[in-house]
């Protein structure tokens, strides 16, 4: 089955700096890669996703890049703000009726004011 | 639209007791997932339903866990008997099966503590 590895496990940045979280996946058939943000005690919420026919996607301060050859994808947050502090999870999924998500182990991002 | 509802939000039981969790997905979402999220880890899929049929339960510990989705809407997940290592947050998620949407919408979860 699919295996997703995520690093770093913790990341501290100064407010206004950029943050980068990286994930690798094992199954070359995976073609959908979402990123979820989970605040303490809250549900995971989708913040951005990318499909395998696209190399990069941006949404305001958030961007995701995908390298299918190397089987890795990354989340980039620019101009970080204290409210960006949370745990971020990457995930991978294949198309078809299943569309199951395999999650990474999470990155605790702390934005220092 | 209303989100995914789960109850209870918190549950404390002793080992060897039984417990049940309930999930009501977003209206019209045919696919329903149960995940187990142990503290400090990412969610792990336990079982996936499409309508009232099981798509995948390969990671469900069937000797103690069971789940059903009668009538293809609400779902219940049961643990009997519970073990200490079952302490986790149990997340329910739903997704529309048609079209290009892959997004899964998560409920608030049920935090289970087994003592």
Q: Which residues of chain B register pLDDT less than 70? A: 1, 97-101
Q: Which helix (H) or strand (E) segment is B110 a member of?
A: strand B110-114
Give CA–CA dist B24/A100, Å, rounded: 19
The Cβ of residue A3 has, within 10 Å, a number of other Cβ atoms equal to 11
> Cα torsion at A27, A99, B98, B30 (round to 10°)?
170
pLDDT at B105: 92
Q: What is the pLDDT of residue A52?
A: 83
Closest chain A CA to residue B104: A46
Cα distances (Å, whole numbers) of residue A20 to A8, A13, A17, B1, B11: 9, 10, 10, 33, 36
pLDDT at B10: 97
Which pLDDT does position B70 carry in this prediction? 82
3-state SS class at A82: helix
pLDDT for the residue A61: 97
- Which residue's entry shows tokens 């999924």? A93
Phi, psi of A11, deg, nearest 5: -150, 125
DSSP conformation class of B114 = E
A102 touches chain B (CB under 8 A): yes
Provide the terminal-to-terminal Cα distance of chain A, rounded to the nearest Å. Answer: 41
pLDDT, residue B99, reads 58
List A residues 37-76 in contact with B (Cβ-Cβ < 8 A): 42-46, 49
Interval A44-53: pLDDT, tens = 999 999 988 8
User: Hey, are the CB atoms on B102 and A49 less than 8 Å from each other?
Assistant: yes
**Residue given tokens 């997703």 in the structure block:** A4
Question: How far apart are the C-alpha atoms of A25 and A14, rounded to whole Å?
Answer: 29
Task: Summarize pLDDT for A62-112 with one digit per residue, the tens.
Answer: 999 999 999 999 999 999 999 999 999 999 987 665 678 999 999 999 999
Q: Do B42 and A91 touch (CB under 8 A)?
A: yes
- Contact yes or no for A72/A26 (Cβ under 8 A): no
Positive or negative, the Cα torsion across A26, A30, A36, A42?
negative
Choose, out of B38, B43, B51, B95, the residue to mutate when testing the contact with A (most A CBs < 10 Å): B43
- Gap between the Cα atoms of B30 and B26, Å rounded: 9
């Amino acid at each position: 089955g699919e295996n997703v590895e995520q690093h770093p496990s913790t990341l501290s940045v100064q407010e206004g700096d950029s943050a980068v979280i990286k994930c690798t996946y094992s199954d070359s058939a995976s073609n959908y890669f979402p990123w979820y943000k989970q605040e303490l005690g809250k549900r995971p919420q989708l913040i951005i996703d990318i499909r395998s026919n696209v190399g990069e996607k941006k949404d305001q301060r958030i961007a995701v890049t995908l390298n299918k050859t190397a089987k890795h994808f990354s989340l980039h947050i620019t101009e970080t703000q204290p409210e960006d502090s949370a745990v971020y999870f990457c995930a991978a999924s294949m198309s078809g009726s299943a569309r199951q998500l395999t999650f990474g182990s999470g990155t605790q991002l702390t934005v220092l004011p | 639209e209303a989100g995914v509802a789960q109850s209870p939000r918190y549950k404390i039981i002793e080992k060897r007791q039984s417990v049940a969790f309930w999930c009501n997905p977003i209206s019209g979402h045919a696919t329903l997932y149960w995940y187990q999220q142990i503290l400090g880890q990412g969610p792990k899929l336990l079982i996936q339903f499409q309508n009232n049929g099981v798509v995948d339960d390969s990671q469900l510990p069937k000797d103690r866990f069971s789940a059903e989705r009668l009538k293809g809407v609400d779902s219940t997940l049961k643990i009997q008997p519970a073990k200490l290592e079952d302490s986790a947050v149990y997340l329910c998620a739903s997704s529309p099966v048609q079209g290009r949407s892959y997004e899964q919408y998560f409920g608030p979860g049920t935090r289970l503590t087994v003592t």
